[in-house]
Amino acid sequence: MKMYNKIFYIIFLAMFLAVHSQQVPGKEQSQSILISYGTIHLGNGDLLENAFVGFDEGKITYVSTEPPDINYEIIIDARNKHIYPGFIALNTSLGLGEIDAVRATIDDDEIGDFLPHVRSIIAYNAESKVVETMRMNGVLISQIAPNGGIISGSSSVVQLDAWNWEDAVIRYDQGIHLNWPSPYSRTGYSYYRGPSTIKKSDKYDLNVEEIKNFFDSSKAYLNEPNPNPVSLPYKAMAPVFTGNATIFLHADDAKQIKDGVRFLQDQKIKNIVEKHLNEDQVLVDVMESFESGFVRIVVDSESSITLGDTAKLTKKLIKSDEFNNRYPTGCRIEITTPGLNAPLKKAYQFKKNINKNVKIRYKNEDQIDSIKCKILSADENSVLVKYDNTEIPIFYDQIEHAKILLSFK
C-alpha cells in the first residue's frame, strides 16, 4: 500500500510540475506600474540612464529621466538593470511548427504554387512551447508567414501573450508573400560530376511568365461582376490590387531582387492606370522608364480606341495625384493600341476575332500542343476553335500563347 502511495505522489507531483511549466497569458493590467532608475534602451540606439518608464492599462504612459509627477500604484526598482522594448520577429513560422522531425506538428506550407488564399493565422498555435521560449527572451510581437510555393499565402501580425489565435492577432492578413524564382540552378556535389556548379536556369523565364499570368488572370477574374466558378486564389488577390495588402518579395541574389522589384513596380503603375480607364477599356501593357521619364501605355477595347479616347486618358493621368507622386518631376506619356501582331490574352480579344485564323499553343493534358485553327466562338471562360474539321474547346488558362495569322491574299 505504501508503494502505491509513493507512486501516486510521484505521478501527482509530475502532473503538478507539468501544469505549472505551462506559461499562461497575463491578466489585464489593473494597477499602474512604474519602473524606476533603470537603463532604458529606446530602440533607436539611444540610452536613458537612471530613467523611469510607466505604464497603465497595458500602455506605456511615461518615459523620462525625471521622476513623474503622478503617483503609480506599483513601483519596481530597476537599478543596475536594463529595460528594452519588445523585439519584433519578422517573416517567421513561429507557432506554425513545433518539432521539425515530426511532420504532424509542421503547418507552415501547403501543396501548390499560387496560394494567396492560404492564411497562416488560422494555423497559428498560441500554446506552442516555441512561442513561450521566444516570449521569455523578449520577443513580444511576430509576423507569422507561410512558406513554400511561388505565392505562399498571407501573413498576420500577432502578440505572443494569448490563449488562442483570435486573442493573439493584431492585424489580419496584412501581406502576401511572393517568392521570386531563382535565375540560376545549382548542381549538387557528385563523386562522378565533381564539385557543384551554377548555371542559368532553363525554367526562369517560364516561372516569371507564370507569375505575370497569375496576376493578369486574377485581375480579369476580379473584374467580372459574377465570376463562375469561384476561384479562391484569384479572389484572395483583391486586397493587393486595391492597396489594402502589402506584397512581401522574397529574393536572394541581385537579379532576383532587380527583376522582382521591377515586376512589382509595373504592377503598381498598372493599378494606377486601370483606375482611370473607361468600363469598356482594358489595359494590355505598361512600360515605363524612370531614367528617361517615359511611360508607354497599351490599351484596348471591345469596340475601338480613338485618338480622343487616348487624349482623355492622358489628361486623367496627368491630373492624378498617384501619378504625380510617382513622377514628381513629370514624364512623357505615350498611349497606343495593340498591333495586329499582338498576342491574344483576354476573352474580349478572342470575341473580337471570331472567324479569324489563329495559332494557339496550349496545355493538352500532359503535353503542349500548337495548332493553326479558326475561332468559331468565345465566352468568358473558353474559346471554341475548328482544327482539321474538328471543333475543340480550349479554356483560357490552358493557353500559353495565341496569335492572329495574318493573310495578305
Look at residue 242 and tell me if it is in a domain: yes
Number of domains in the chain: 3
Q: Is residue 314 part of a domain?
A: no
Q: What is the pLDDT along the chain (409 residues), one digit of tens a residue?
A: 455 454 544 444 444 444 445 567 778 888 999 999 999 998 888 899 999 999 898 888 999 999 998 889 999 999 999 998 888 999 888 888 887 767 777 777 788 889 999 898 888 888 888 888 888 888 989 999 998 889 999 999 999 888 888 888 998 888 899 999 988 877 666 555 566 677 788 888 888 889 988 988 888 888 777 888 888 999 988 888 877 788 899 998 888 898 888 888 888 788 788 888 887 788 888 887 777 778 888 888 877 788 888 888 888 888 888 888 888 878 888 888 887 677 888 888 898 889 999 999 999 888 899 999 999 999 888 999 999 999 999 999 889 889 988 766 5
pTM above 0.85, yes or no: no
Q: Residue 303 domain-assigned?
A: no
Cβ distance 128 to 153 under 8 Å?
no
Please, which contacts does 335-338 make with residues 24 or more away whose CB atoms are closer than 8 Å?
Answer: 335/296, 335/297, 335/298, 335/299, 335/310, 336/296, 336/297, 336/298, 336/299, 336/310, 337/298, 337/299, 337/300, 337/305, 338/284, 338/298, 338/300
Q: Which three cell numbers stand for residue 237?
A: 488577390
> Cα–Cα distance between 260 and 282 in angstroms, integer?
24
Around Cβ 82, how many Cβ atoms within 10 Å?
Answer: 10
| 94 and 60 co-located in one domain | no
Range of the domain at 250: 86-187+198-274
Residue 205: phi and psi, rounded to 5, are -60, -40
User: 234 and 107 in one domain?
Assistant: yes
CA-to-CA distance for 312 and 90, rounded, in angstroms?
44
Non-local CB neighbours of 249 within 8 Å, separated by 6+ positions = 178, 180, 257, 260, 261, 264
Q: What are phi and psi of 170, to 5 degrees?
A: -100, -40
Among residues 68, 69, 58, which one has the least CA distance to residue 36? Answer: 68
**Contact indicator for 152, 234 with CB cutoff of 8 Å:** no
CATH code for position 167: 3.20.20.140
How far apart, in whole angstroms, are the C-alpha atoms of residue 111 and residue 122? 16
Looking at the structure, tell me whether residues 54 and 164 fall in a common domain: no
Pair 91, 101 in one domain: yes
* Residues 81 and 218 grouped into a single domain: no
Does the residue 316 lie in any domain?
Answer: no
Residues 232 and 119 in one domain: yes
Report the chain's C-alpha Rg in angstroms. Answer: 30
> Nearest CA to 320 among 297, 289, 291?
297
Q: Which amino acid is located at 44 in the chain?
A: N
208 and 90 in a single domain? The answer is yes
Match 497562416 to its residue by C-alpha cell.
Answer: 120
**Residue 370 maps to which CATH number?**
2.30.30.100
Q: What CATH number did the domain enclosing 68 receive?
A: 2.30.40.10
**What per-residue confidence (pLDDT) applies to 188?**
63
Instruction: Say if 4 falls within a structural domain.
Output: no
Q: How do residues 272-282 score in pLDDT, each as one tens digit?
A: 888 888 877 88
